Structure 1
C-alpha cells in the first residue's frame, strides 16, 4: 500500500468510516502503515546538533530528538557557541503554514532556552498537555511562576492571573525583554485531563481547548508540549490543524481529509508524532466531532442570515 491517497475521506463520511472501518481493527492497520512508512525518519534521520555531547543534557529523552532540517535554532548567546540548541521542532500544518512548534517539557537547565525561544519566535500562546508529575514520574519541570515574577536569562516572566476550569488552567503572563524593555502578553493553556500514552477524558472538553486556543490572536507559532513533545503534542496538532482548517473548506465539495498523510508529514518534521493507536483513534473521533460542530455552526449562521434578510 504505497499510495497514501487511498486514505482520502470526505469529512461528511468520517463517522461512517469510523463505524465501518476504524473500529473494525482498521485503526490498527492504518497505524501500522504509518509506523512502517515513517520508520526511516528515525533510523536514517539527521540529528547531528541534537546528538552533540554538549547538547545531550538538554534532551529529556535520548530517543526523542528534533531532525536537523526542522529544529528551532536559537540566536547564539555572546561567547557561547553551543547556545543555539533546544529540543523543539517547527511543524507545518497540512496547508504548508508554519503553525506550531512542538517541544519537550522544559528541564530546569533549559528554562532560559525555552523562554528565549518563545520570545525569538514571537509566540504568544503555549499549550501544555501534561501535568508536572504523572504516576509518580516527573514529566515536566515548572518553567513558569504562579505569583510575582521571575527572570529567565534576559526574559522576565510576570504573572498576571489565571482561570481554573474543569479540564484546563488558563494563565496570563506578561513577558519583558530586559535588553530592550519590550513587553508582550502571553497566554498559557494547561490541559490536565489527558493521561500519558492515553487519550483525553472527554472529546467535548478537548474541543473546548481547541476553541479557546483559536480565540487568541496569534503573533507566532503555537508552542505545544507534553513530556516528550510527540504523543499528546502530535495528537493536538493533528486535530487542531484539521478542525480549524476545515472552517475554510466548508463550501468546497471536493475537500477531503487524509489523516495518515497528515501524520506521516508531521513525523517527517518530528519523529513519533501521535504515539499510540489509542491516540490515533482519538484523532478520528475528535475530528469527526469537531467537523460536525463546524457544520452545525455554519447551518445556524446561514439560517440566522436568512431570517435577517426576510
Structure 2
C-alpha cells in the first residue's frame, strides 16, 4: 500500500504529466489569478517614468529602496521575495531596466550585493558593457569574463561583471545569466534550460539573505514569477514532511509569491511550467523518499508539455 506522501505526491505528478491548457487554466484561475492581496501598491503617479507598464504595480511594504536618496528619488520597480521558514532564501523580483533607470538598476545591484542577475527576456535596453567597461550614473560596470553556463546550453550566456559605486571604495562582483528563449506571456518549449540555470546557481554559491539573486524579464512579473516559483518550490518540496501534499504546497507557494510581487505569474502556461520544472528536478535528484517521482517521470512529461506549449 502506498504511503500518504507517495499517494499525494503521485497525484500531483500525474496532474503535471497529464495537464493540458484547460486543466491548468482551471487551477490557475481558481487558486492563483483570483487571489487578491490587500497590500498597498506604490503610487505610480509619483514615478510614472520609472514604470514600464502602468498596470503592473509594485508593493510598497517590501520594495527595494535605493539607499541614501530622498523618498521621491528612492524608487526602483523591484520587490524582495522571501520564503517562510527559510532564512537564506532571498530573491529580488525586478522590472527590467529602462533607458532612464539603468543607473538606478546598477546602484540597486551594488547596494543589495546581488550575487546573480538572471535575465529572462531578449530586449534592446543596453544596460551592460559589451566589452571593457561602461559608466551608469555613479556606477562603473566592467566586463570581466563571458561564456556559457554549460556547453550544452548555447542559449544561456554567462557573464561576470565588477561594479564600482562612487559613494564607496569597494568593488562588487556579480554574475549575469542571460536566457533569451523565453517568450513574453509564454513558456520555453522545454524545461531543460531553466533547470540548468537553477542548478548552476545552487552549485556556485547560490544566494543568502544578504546576497540575493535578482530575476527580471520585461515587467518582472510573468516569466520572473514562474522562475521564482520554481526556485521556491524546490527549496520547500525537498523538505516536505511525510503528511504534506505537493500540489497544495505549490498552490500555497504561488500565493506566497503573489503576496510579495503583485501579479506574479501571468498565465496558466507559466504556472504549469513551474510545476513541470520542479517535477523533473526532483526526479533527477533521486532522494530516497522521492523514488516514486523518479519512477513516475518519463518522456511523457516532455511529450505532454511540448503539446501543451504548442496548443
Instruction: Give the TM-score band, short-chain normalised.
Output: 0.7 to 0.9
Contact 1:14/1:288 (<8 A) preserved:
no
Structure 2, unaligned runs of 5 or more: 1-6, 292-311
The corresponding residue for 2:53 is 61
Going from structure 1 to structure 2, the CA distance change for 1:299 and 1:14 (only over 3 Å counts) comes to closer
TM-score when scaled to structure 2? 0.80
Per-residue CA deviations over 1:197-249 (Å, capped at 9, x if unaligned) read 111222122211111121222351111000010100000001112224444x2
Per-residue CA deviations over 1:163-218 (Å, capped at 9, x if unaligned) read 14422111111112333220121100011121111112221222111111212223
The corresponding residue for 1:31 is 28
The corresponding residue for 1:4 is none
216-225 or 64-73: bigger deviation = 216-225
Per-residue CA deviations over 1:86-123 (Å, capped at 9, x if unaligned) read 11111112535451110111111111111111111111
Question: Deviation of residue 144 (structure 1)?
Answer: 0.7
Q: State how far apart, in whole Å, the 2-side matches of 1:275 and 1:110 are.
A: 24
Question: Deviation of residue 256 (structure 1)?
Answer: 3.8
Q: Tell me which of 213, 224, 230 is aligned to 2:201.
A: 213
Contact 2:163/2:171 (<8 A) preserved:
yes
1:46 paired to 2:17: no
Structure 1, unaligned runs of 5 or more: 1-8, 134-140, 301-310
Q: State how far apart, in whole Å, the 1-side matches of 2:264 and 2:290 are.
A: 34
Contact 1:76/1:82 (<8 A) preserved:
no
SS in 2 for 1:269: coil
Contact 2:119/2:178 (<8 A) preserved:
yes
TM-score when scaled to structure 1? 0.80
Question: Deviation of residue 254 (structure 1)?
Answer: 3.5
1:65-80 to 2 correspondences below 5 Å: 65-77=57-69, 80=70
1:6-17 to 2 correspondences below 5 Å: 10-17=8-15
1:146 paired to 2:130: yes
Going from structure 1 to structure 2, the CA distance change for 1:12 and 1:291 (only over 3 Å counts) comes to farther
Q: State how far apart, in whole Å, the 2-side matches of 1:181 and 1:32 are.
A: 50
Q: State how far apart, in whole Å, the 2-side matches of 1:132 and 1:17 are.
A: 34
Per-residue CA deviations over 1:144-174 (Å, capped at 9, x if unaligned) read 1111111222221110111144221111111
Equivalent residue pairs, number: 276
SS in 1 for 2:145: strand
The corresponding residue for 2:156 is 168
Contact 1:11/1:288 (<8 A) preserved:
no
1:157 paired to 2:141: yes
1:246-265 to 2 correspondences below 5 Å: 246-247=237-238, 249=239, 252-257=241-246, 258-265=249-256
Contact 2:113/2:212 (<8 A) preserved:
yes
Per-residue CA deviations over 1:260-288 (Å, capped at 9, x if unaligned) read 11111111111211110111121221111
Q: State how far apart, in whole Å, the 1-side matches of 2:102 and 2:56 are.
A: 18
